[in-house]
Structure 1
Amino acid sequence: MTSDVLVIGGGVVGLASAYHLKRLSPGLSVTLAEKGARLCSVNSGRSAALYRNLFLSKTSRDLAESSIIHYRSIAGAIALKGLGYLWTFSRDEWTLLRTEAVRLASLAQEVELLEGEALSAATAMAREPKGPYPAAGGAIAGRLCGALSAQALAAWYAERFSELGGLIVTGADITGFDLDNEGGSLPTRVVGAKDARGEYYEAGRYLVAGGCWSQDLLGPLGIASAVYPKKRQLFGFSVARPDLLYGQASYGTPALILPYAGIYLKPVPERYLAVAGMADELGRGIDLPYGPAAARPRAEEEYFRAYIEPALGAYFPSLAAAYPRGLELKQAWAGHYDYHWPDKNPVLERAHNVVWVAG
């Protein structure tokens, strides 16, 4: 199979990359290879599907805000919800970060800072949580932020990419590359890629958008992408009324990041649910399990009960009082972040005729 560009990875990043390549250069032949039987069936489809523009990095902010403009233009097709974002920080963190938060509010679109009574009015968080949980000292509020359906967004990109003449191959688990190192000279380019079924793909350029598996492909080439996996787990639990989490202010029911352990909440009020997630920084290795466990990692209820639920109870006493026997879990799933560990920002880099994109 021969094309000008081979895109590896059928999640949102790979599909968006393939679509924009064809949109901007219609004459290019572009093939997208996805390891799963379906597109967006691995980590893109197992995220909280939240989006934000709260980045100090100009590159990240420009990427986010241009993407949000695009998302809004196709809002109906991707179940877009302009929830907003409320990122809270402990008092100590806020003392250290407030100057940077002020700078962010001056740079990013529709961002403001909440402190004191304004912060208290926006949520039902306890002013002085019991236990080891720090009180919120301030928050960054982003009105451009929100949520969407990752599967619907992937389907939109896939349909438009196909309409432009792009080729999608599913079940194509790329396992490695061949280099032009014949004749004893140093290799200068990749000349082909193989998948687990024995199919061979030749292309002028190779774009690796394999998420947390990208380094497995890039490492044997001598490329250190600094993109590694971190397990994320999400748990949907019952919330009978929005006021168990949110205040009476006009800010509504935004996605909420707590000032403890990066726990985040995505409200789903139409289903009387909230989704909580957390990616622990210590104690969980970055080595991926292989085989079936890698394709569908297990969400651990004990993780929710031991770490997330006690924090939710401390920050939201009314929520704990409404469910004295414990929060009612309705759904749970897990996947992996593909963090660019040096700065956790999106990455787009190139070596010879190989490009990798993540984040």
Structure 2
Amino acid sequence: MTPKKRKDGGDRLAEYRGRRDPGRTPEPVPGERALPRGDKALPRGDDDTFVVQEHHATSLHWDLRLERDGVLVSWAVPKGLPWSPGTNHLAVRTEDHPLEYAAFEGEIPRGEYGAGKMTVWDRGTYETEKWSEREVKIIVHGSRVSGRYVLFRTRGDNWMIHRMDPPADPDAEPLPESLRPMRPAEKARLPRDQDAWGFEFAWGGRRLAAYVEGGRTRFTDGRGRAVDGPGGLGSRLGAELGSRPALLDGELAVLDGRETYMIYDLLHLDGHPLLDVPYRDRRGRLDDLGLSGPLWQTAPWFPGDGGAVRDAARDQGLPGVLAKRLDSPYEPGEESGDWRFVPS
């Protein structure tokens, strides 16, 4: 493959090649692999291909790449492309990439530049409205993101990316700044109509809400005040959810001598609040997320079997059981009889 030349005669991929060892990285390196034929994921040389790759490097980010003059002009976007014109996101200009990179997915080995897992988050075509050294206006047509965007340079390699169209989902709402958790009323006995309730273990930990967005996480405590989370929890949990914004409710509990974030409610997902959604359905959506990692777990719940849960809590030395009415909404900051703490 002939290296692409800059308009001034220079090699536009020299920096890219200089950062990579073709004997160690699975990434395409010019001169080592020819451009495959017939791959629909690869550009055809029409300056109309875009790709967004999710990059689980030292810090999770998304790489936006636009085909231009024989290379993929690239920006690293730490929080992903903005879904609303109300927010601008940082976009850091990186080295030009070869066209083959539009189809690259794989694990960049530890010790290599950009080490970590790379996957294609979205791809499609784009139209150019303006292209200069300081401003790029485009219309993108992808399966996950579409619309008009502008990238504008602020200083050095730092740019900003702005969505020019209305939100892709006009009903989407940002995560709240703060939310005080719902609290259970303490009762001596389990509810009689147990078929109408779900039961969880009371972990005896510290209440913590997690606001996850753009691969980052912030936390509030039982009073809705901003607090620091345990080291490593925020970044790893953010990477687990990727581009999906979510508000989680749970608590930090010590399990087997290790502090673990036990997640037991989902209050906001993909731009939509779930406070009015019944507890049964919120738990179903939470379970569907499959959140399980070295520092966090989705807490188990058991519909209609409070006695067995209480016995298990007693055997494990846990404080008790939480009974939650299956059709109950989430009432921020309220103590409600729809949630009941029953000591073991």
Taking structure 2 as the reference length, the TM-score comes to 0.24
Which one has a bigger Cα radius of gyration? 2
Flag the structure with more relative contact order, 1 or 2, with Cα contacts below 8 A and sequence separation at least 6: 1
